[in-house]
Amino acid sequence: MNNPNAQSIQFSILNLPAGLKAQFSKNPITGTSNTLELRNESSTLSGFQTLKLQAIVGSDTLSRFLLVEIVQAPQPVQALEPQNGDNLVPLPVQLRWRKGKFAQQYSIVLARDAAFRDIIGRYRSLDTTYQIGQLDLKGTYYWKVWGINTCDTSLVPNTFQQFSIAPSIQATVLPEFQALCQADSMVLLLKAADGYQGSATLSYRVTPRTALSLSFSEDPAKINAGVLFQAKARNLRPLLPGNYALTFYTRQNNLRDSTKVSFSITAAPRIPVLSTPAVSAVLLDKRPNFSWSSSGAVERYELEVASDSAFLFPVWTANLELTEYQRAQDLAAGRYFWRVRALNSCGITESKIQSFTVFQSNLSKINNLDVGIEPIPSTGRVTLHLSAAIDGASIELYNMSGQLLSTIVPGQVFRDWTIDLSRYPAGMYVLRLKHRQSSVGLRVILQR
């Protein structure tokens, strides 16, 4: 501080909390420096405290605020688990203690003897737990814990906790994962843990919960240490496709343990349902589009087209991942048969067989659509075919003299329309299709 005239300066600390003492090395002073010592005599005072430093120089009073953190020495820590004398502590060992007042972290020591000469390890933890993964099954272990902070440590306790490791009763299960079909059986190899005395019991649970029945080659109520045995599920059909977890629980007196494996179930593909071309459809497009329903978990589809229903004369086969396909090359006019197979690792399913006809004779055009009529000649019924569905169309029938004989208004969207001409005498007629501002005439021959 500046004090060029060597004036007398009187110092004081205001608003001291109870238990905190303040002392200056000199008071008053006539120099330029002084030392303030703060001493905490309270066992409960802690945290940040704001103090007011006041200096009186002649008739002037100067002040400044001081922020002081008070840290108490950590209080003794109470060890909780493993409880003292517990001789059935499973691995890994979870050490746990009660939170110590004023402790910022904790120091733990583990030994093989009560005098703590044979130290296994020294550990630090910011929390009130610490896990030790590997310890020998034989012998007794001793541990103690105490708190530490930036100012001090709590006294290292003279008392300790002792415990012994329980023998493991956890069963080993292989394989850890299986991909199975509904038609499969599931077989698991289990090995009981070594080292425990007597027998353990074994139970299991499937997640999600489902009706899975396991049979065992050993009595699950009496599993001896080290024994090898099988678990088998002969019928997986009640299980829906999906992923499952299978947990095996072992129990002996107060000891508990578990082992988890997983498996997946895949069903054979659903039977594909053919969509387009529709049953017995007449197509004007020489490169038809094929589509069918999805079959679920499918690796691929096989699309087959043949000129006979026994598929002795295949036209082509396509292996596909999607549920639709368009022929890249023209098909000749004629009748065809098609089917779809769905395949995955669990089986093959096959659709029904459907037929379609590629019609290419005497095609006409209306509004950029192909239009044709069959059969020619006909004994009565004829069907009008378009390459795409239309709406708002009408059909007129004329004789060769140009006389209008009939007008048909479908009144709906259509792609194929059948007309009964059986009441007209044999001869030649013209069907005129009208759509929007366009029309096209198609010649019909009736025979008797």
DSSP letters for 384-427: EEEEEEESS-EEEEEETT--EEEEE---S-EEEEEEE-TTSPSE
Q: Give 390's strand partners.
A: 414
Judged against a pLDDT cut of 70, whether residue 294 lies above it is answered with: yes
pLDDT at 42 over 70: yes
Is the separation of the CB atoms in 86 and 142 below 8 Å? no
The string of pLDDT tens digits covering residues 18-34 is: 888 888 888 888 877 88
Other Cβ atoms within 10 Å of 70 Cβ, number = 16
Q: List Cβ neighbours of 314 (8 Å cut-off, separation of 6 or more).
A: 304, 305, 306
CA–CA separation, 415 vs 371, rounded Å? 10
Q: Report pLDDT for 430.
A: 95
Q: Is domain 79-165 given the CATH code 2.60.40.10 in the classification?
A: yes
Structure-model confidence comparison of residues 153 and 294, the more confident one:
294
Q: What is the mean pLDDT of residues 35-54?
A: 79
pLDDT over 80 (residue 206): yes
Give the residue-averaged pLDDT of 274-289.
Answer: 90
The reported pLDDT for the residue numbered 74 is 84
pLDDT number for residue 152: 66
The per-residue pLDDT for 447 is 93
Confidence of residue 124 (pLDDT cuts 50, 70, 90): very high
Mean of pLDDT over the chain? 90
The least confident of 190-199, 211-220, 260-269, 434-443 is 190-199
pLDDT value of position 67: 86
pLDDT at 153 over 70: no
CATH number belonging to the domain at 172-266, selected among 2.40.50.140, 2.30.30.100, 2.60.120.10, 2.60.40.10:
2.60.40.10
Domain spans in the chain, listed from the N-terminal domain onward: 9-70, 79-165, 172-266, 274-358, 364-446
Give the whole-angstrom CA distance, residue 229 versus residue 251.
Answer: 17
Contact call for residues 339 and 350 (beta carbons, < 8 A): yes
Residue 162 tokens, joined: 């002792």
What secondary structure does DSSP assign to 168-186, as a single string? P-PPEEE-SEEEEETTS-E
- What was the pLDDT predicted at 4? 60
pLDDT-based confidence at residue 443 (cuts at 50, 70, 90) = very high
The CATH number of the domain covering residues in 364-446: 2.60.40.3080
pLDDT at 2: 60
Report the DSSP pairing between strands 300-306 and 334-344: antiparallel
Percentage of the chain modeled with pLDDT above 70: 97
Q: What is the DSSP letter of 330?
A: P
> H/E/C letters for each residue in 243-303?
EEEEEEEEEECCEEEEEEEEEEEECCCCCCCEEECCCCEEECCCCCEEEECCCCCCCEEEE
Average pLDDT over residues 112-127: 94
The pLDDT tens digits for 46-73 are 778 888 888 888 888 888 888 887 777 7
Does the structural domain 274-358 have CATH classification 1.10.4010.10? no
**Range name among 82-91, 169-178, 297-306, 330-339 with the lowest pLDDT average:** 82-91
Q: Position 79: which residue type?
A: A
Q: Tell me, what's the pLDDT at 132?
A: 92
